[in-house]
């Protein structure tokens, strides 16, 4: 199994910046892609950004140019640098890890961290 722990959420003013971190533990060797998703009380959980094991990234159109996803050399920690934050970015952000074992894929989720953008 893979355990994910997010941190770095909080309250920030519009135009401000915040960096989220997600630390993975457990069967780290099986982890392939990792990503960040967000969800609000009135929206479904949606993809924000993802990064593959080789460093290829993909972003939602709403955050392109403002957010940057990265992972460390050990590939057990993923970050989300959020700049030029807008009130619409307010949501609970979840870290996701995709694990592949013997040809089967499994998804693991963190507990979520609240990000609130407000003046």
pLDDT at 118 over 70: yes
User: Among residues 117, 49, 46, 50, which one has the least CA distance to residue 88?
Assistant: 117
Structure-token pair, residue 90: 């307010």
Nearest CA among 18, 47, 44 for reference residue 107: 47
Instruction: Please state, for a pLDDT cut of 90, what percent of the chain lies above it.
Output: 85
Sequence-separated (6 or more) residues with CB below 8 Å from residue 52: 32, 33
| Short-list 41, 79, 87, 42, CA closest to 62 | 87
Mean pLDDT of 3-8: 96
78-112 pLDDT, tens digit per residue, is 999 999 999 999 999 999 999 998 999 999 999 99
What would the pLDDT profile of 12-39 be if each residue is shown by its tens digit? 999 999 999 999 999 888 889 999 999 9
Q: pLDDT band at 65, cuts 50/70/90?
A: very high
* Residues 6 or more apart whose Cβ sits within 8 Å of residue 49: 35, 36, 57, 58, 59, 60, 63, 67, 68, 69, 80
Q: pLDDT digits over 67-85, tens only?
A: 999 998 576 899 999 999 9
The token pair at 107 is 């998804």
């Amino acid at each position: 199994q893979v355990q994910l722990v997010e941190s770095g959420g909080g309250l920030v003013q519009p135009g401000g910046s915040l960096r989220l971190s997600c630390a993975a533990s457990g069967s780290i060797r099986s982890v392939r892609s990792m990503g960040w998703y967000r969800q609000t009380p009135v929206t479904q959980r949606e993809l924000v950004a993802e990064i593959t094991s080789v460093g290829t990234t993909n972003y939602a159109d709403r955050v392109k140019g403002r957010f940057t996803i990265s992972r460390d050399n050990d590939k057990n920690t993923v970050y989300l640098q959020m700049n030029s934050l807008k009130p619409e970015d307010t949501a609970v952000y979840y870290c996701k890890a995709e694990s592949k074992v013997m040809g089967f894929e499994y998804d693991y989720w963190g507990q979520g961290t609240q990000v609130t953008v407000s003046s």
